[in-house]
Structure 1
């Protein structure tokens, strides 16, 4: 049985290459890609003592939960200096101090493959720690449940964030020093004085019609979330069809000042032959007229002021090198060419979240994708089942908008739960392949693609932020 017979001839993404959607035919190496490697999600199953009070994971200030920072490990510093984060930007040092001299961890490449963090001390040798081990901030071996990565994906790779977010509530800040100062000031004040309105969520959904993936995103994401908001009495607005332009988006943001924004659209992944321009406009939202979002024009009309933005668009959070999906599709297809070109610009954070998080009145958190996101994660290729309820209903609606606000890192954790099952499916499929079972290669491909697609959704911003 061929892949095309089992899955159809084309794999679709929400990338926009300037003149068309990025689609791809499967390469001759797709089966090898599907069968290459697997990771298993570790989960701590250590119940608290019977006499201890119930554990409230939303209370990141508790020493049984905790918050900490992850920095790149740098040579030339003493263990005491690394523990004190003397090399961190001034704003981050202030935040560490304000949060009770929070623990500082380090990323070191040779330990990262196994998911280890390094913690340095002034009084003892460094410790190699797993986030899935002892939790909280009690003792030298504990790792907080909330972790803020500070640094670019060139310094601390996306793959390490993927690994950490299976065991902890993780966010990242990749900003220049001025942007960090603005963000930390706003975070520390709780966005004091901001006009964000929790009861006026704004949804913006481009739909270029079936079979373009934007049609599926509108139906399974935007309309489902809008329905949930309306049924619960929110004054939610959905801009779609003729309203799905950047002008309408900017005007609605300025008028409504929403505390929550959702957008579904293609993300820009062109021009493929100009790396500098590709990097500059990577992941920018593509509207109904195929125009790219002008960040400067957006920020002239609207300031994020503590809002949370979920952007379902290709590369909305950034890009990686090498691509996670390298060799999945034919290199000569539009999707194959796009993956190759985007990988060449190197690991990076996209311009839009950097601008919003470092704005004069910063965004609180941006949730988006590294690399493309695929239609299989929206609708199961086997039975056509909608696969977005864990994201739309459980996470973006119930968790973020519950009466008792859930921090964004904890809210997103439920979306990653499916990764464990998908990777177990992948392991089973690899074993079936080794036993020469028919169709095992296709099973492995489905499971791996869907797992890595989910892991590629990341939080930019501090994981403790919540809706007002």
Structure 2
């Protein structure tokens, strides 16, 4: 534990992987969001209260859409078919809300302040009748509705976000979801999952990633998708004959793989970091995925990077769920939260926080939802702070999706993990501060550093797309 983890990040213009974090940087890492530990104190499961017997039943959980207060009315018009569908599925106006204008998110408003105005608490389990239904779809970019707002709200609610640069993409997404959920629509996807995991030569981070996930996902006795889900699995990894190449990812999106078009796919790789000096390039490419072709020290290029622009025109994504594991795969903050200037000040990453172009493009091409990371992603998703493999944080959301759970529910276990790590860290800090000679031994500085990073890493997974979206399991071939 003396060595801190290496993020799954490569500097695109040089091809240089990010270095392991240093213990000296940890004191500059910010404290967690207020109330983050409350979830683990109140519940080890769903954050809704006892009135919700089935978290997949919208007539029990409700659904709402939350706009920035100054959102362009054209965005709502584009989303109206989805809004109308969810209203009909909820069937009770007490459990259906549209928050906009004065009830939307005001500039600079925090999640706890917004919740207070709605008469609900961020540190109590969700009563869907109390004013804010359980499934919450945020509409807006993170410079207007911050990632911290989403993170704190998802501690109790099932939260997703839509943020497109092209207003018409909101309409494309809404149309695809509404059409997919129509009873007469026949999904093209099969009960098949695809995993695409790189292992680049001489690269420690992807060796750890592949070494932890592949034996678990490909276990002949219990492969990913087996059991109650009854999914088949197509695996493309850096250590197998069918490698995680760029062309192979294109084929996955086309459904041109042995098991047919996958309903769920997972990517695990390095994410690309582009410099703040070229905002337009960064906006297009930040969080793109380095493929198996990448070699350490080789800059990003068309032959070793998969970006939003590489999604083929004939991709068969309508009705697909995705989990993108990489640094910045879902977006990035404005400032670096792990590496600092010598004086402890922040290093700027982007002119403003952003949602990555790749998940935006997947959603506008018909994907139902994408689980992704909005900061640097670390190995703590597949190992604990002692280095012991524990892949549940990745395997469980994928399994829940394959069981037909709604996207927000499937990702809820990640929020639960964040809260437990927060509680564990608070408890450890209290032990360190205690003067009681009978108190348990405090954590070492190295263990405290590792736990801090693991906590923040778990916090930064988000759902992009409608959190109420789900696969039509019974209709998959």
Q: 1:213 aligns with which of 205, 211, 214?
A: 205
Cα separation, 1, equivalents of 2:53 and 2:131: 16
Q: TM-score, normalised by structure 1?
A: 0.81
Of the structure 1 ranges 17-26 and 174-183, higher mean CA displacement relative to structure 2 is found in 17-26
- How far 1:323 moved relative to its partner? 3.5
Cα separation, 2, equivalents of 1:107 and 1:324: 25
Does 2:72 match 1:107? no
SS in 2 for 1:300: coil
Does 2:273 match 1:276? no
For each residue in 1:276-325, what CA deviation from the matched residue of structure 2 results, as whole angstroms up to 9, or x when unmatched? Answer: 32232111111011211143342224131120111111100001123443
Cα separation, 1, equivalents of 2:214 and 2:171: 34
Cα separation, 2, equivalents of 1:286 and 1:47: 42
Aligned to 2:312: 299
**Which aligned pairs between 1:347-366 and structure 2 lie closer than 5 A?**
347-359=353-365, 362-366=366-370
- How far 1:273 moved relative to its partner? 4.5
SS in 2 for 1:40: coil
- How far 1:15 moved relative to its partner? 0.7
CA contact (8 A) 2:37 2:423 kept: no
Does 2:347 match 1:340? yes
- How far 1:420 moved relative to its partner? 1.9
Q: 2:120 aligns with which of 110, 123, 129?
A: 129
CA contact (8 A) 1:202 1:260 kept: yes
Aligned to 2:172: 182
The number of residues matched between the two structures is: 424
Query: CA 1:209/1:433 → structure 2, altered by over 3 Å: closer, same or farther?
Result: farther
For each residue in 1:26-48, what CA deviation from the matched residue of structure 2 results, as whole angstroms up to 9, or x when unmatched? Answer: 16342343767764343467964
Aligned to 1:3: none
SS in 2 for 1:207: coil
CA contact (8 A) 2:126 2:156 kept: no
Query: CA 1:380/1:350 → structure 2, altered by over 3 Å: closer, same or farther?
Result: same
Does 2:247 match 1:243? no
Cα separation, 2, equivalents of 1:48 and 1:345: 43
SS in 2 for 1:117: helix
Query: CA 1:111/1:35 → structure 2, altered by over 3 Å: closer, same or farther?
Result: closer
Compute the RMSD of aligned alpha carbons: 3.1
Aligned to 2:321: 308
- How far 1:137 moved relative to its partner? 4.8
CA contact (8 A) 2:35 2:122 kept: no
Aligned to 1:417: 416
CA contact (8 A) 2:26 2:338 kept: no
Instruction: List gaps (5 residues or longer) in structure 1.
Output: 1-5, 76-84, 119-125
Q: 1:172 aligns with which of 161, 165, 184?
A: 161
Cα separation, 2, equivalents of 1:286 and 1:164: 32
Aligned to 1:369: 373
- How far 1:187 moved relative to its partner? 1.4
Aligned to 2:11: 17
CA contact (8 A) 1:116 1:130 kept: no
Query: CA 1:93/1:32 → structure 2, altered by over 3 Å: closer, same or farther?
Result: same
Cα separation, 1, equivalents of 2:24 and 2:323: 35
CA contact (8 A) 1:395 1:412 kept: yes
Aligned to 1:80: none
CA contact (8 A) 1:35 1:441 kept: no
SS in 2 for 1:311: strand
Aligned to 2:63: 67
Aligned to 1:7: 2
Aligned to 2:469: 465
Cα separation, 2, equivalents of 1:237 and 1:353: 21
Instruction: List gaps (5 residues or longer) in structure 2.
Output: 88-92, 295-303, 436-440, 473-477
Cα separation, 1, equivalents of 2:446 and 2:106: 35
- How far 1:172 moved relative to its partner? 0.5
Aligned to 1:450: 454
Query: CA 1:444/1:415 → structure 2, altered by over 3 Å: closer, same or farther?
Result: same
